[in-house]
Amino acid sequence: MARHGGGQGWYGKLLGAALGVTVLATGASVWTAQAGDVGGAAPKAKPSVSAVKPVDVSIAHASEKGARGVNLTIDDGPDPNWTPQVLDVLREYGVKATFCMVGTQAQAHPDLVKKVVAEGHRLCDHTVSHDVTMDKQSPQYQAKQILDAERMITEASGGVRPMYYRAPGGAFTPYSRKLAASHGMRPLGWNVDTKDFEKPGADAIVATVQRELANGPTLLFHDAGGDRSQTVEALRRVLPWLKEQGYSCGFPVR
């Protein structure tokens, strides 16, 4: 995938001072208060010390399902036309996905955000405006993009928080990864870029998955940003193929 950030260093202190959060960095983990339920809903009361859990700042690729697990990730929505169709396909084949939502889209379509959550899928923060130059912007700009999107998505969902952060175009920075982790969102990468946004045809999208799945388990699709009929068709063919190959669809590691 494109441009990954690296390094650790002084960002924990910067976050605590600039953003008013408690960040205790230990190795590759940032310790932050997390809700206990699968959906990531915000706790009603401040958690005790015993409720604090580590959230890794490294970019996730692996699946919670293990070696034969696959992570379906759906980016850039929700979209009133294509998201319902993607959800129909996922429901038909009984699989779950992670929806990487753009803040303005979530704000515009809260009914779809709630539907995604109600059907058992997970949410991911994909920034407010999908700026693929995030890694070239100031920490203040990155923080506003990430935290405003987190708020928009959480409000649209009715209180369920995003569990991951995916930088647009893979434009992670050490700062953005630690900021996301300090808010309980694991940085999320991908292994197979289906290039469905280029509309290469359903055959090409399916072939890319079949050819590149050996690169790793996290697959990148889109449910917004244009005509996604090819994506919908490709999913109808990819999902039964994955099952035939002995794979099961789950969620990225946290």
With a threshold of 0.85, does the pTM exceed it? Answer: no
Which tokens belong to 250?
A: 């789950």
pLDDT category, 53, cuts 50, 70, 90?
A: low
- 71-84: per-residue pLDDT in tens? 999 999 999 999 99
Is the preceding peptide bond at 162 cis, omega within 30 degrees of 0? no
Give the class (CATH, top level) of 11-250. alpha beta
pLDDT at res. 20: 39
Residues with active-site annotation: 75, 222
Best CA proximity match to 101, nearest among 229, 222, 192, 187: 222
